[in-house]
Amino acid sequence: MNGEKIIIGSDHAGFELKERCKSYIRNVLGKDIEDIGVYSTDSSDYPDIGHKLAEQIASKKYLVGILICGSGIGMSMVANRHRGVRAALCHDIYTTKYSRLHNDANVLVMGGRIIGEGLAFEMIKTFLETPFEGGRHKRRIEKIDKELCLEGKNS
């Protein structure tokens, strides 16, 4: 996932952590980032941003994204309704690492009211630097999308 532009979004509860993460991604990791909102702590609805980001990942305009809401639960539920999106709600380095290694996650979801800034930075670095292991895990990932197709679900 190195070298690709990253898309990021949050609701009002994730806004402050999103802003700090953007700075870290640009200034420390040296990566381009597209912020799709929200742009303040004014009340907002997480599905609006979650769907917007997931649509960009599903269309392959962006290969990797980050979503942040209060707990991360809402954003992960929304994003995972889109075919080809594998949004992983992570709370530590271990879950972040294995979301990439075994699940080929393409969206990292964090809880802005749960994850501290330092941990969020380490999780982002881990997410971006950990490759998908493939092998038996690839077969399992293919089954996820196959089931979606059989049921006729696109999003």
Beta strand pairing call for 107-111 and 64-69: parallel
> What is the rounded distance in angstroms from the CA atom of residue 22 to the CA atom of residue 19?
5
Instruction: Find the helix or strand (DSSP H, E) in which 88 lies.
Output: strand 87-89
Catalytic residue positions?
102
Q: What is the DSSP letter of 4?
A: S
Give the CA radius of gyration of the chain. Answer: 14
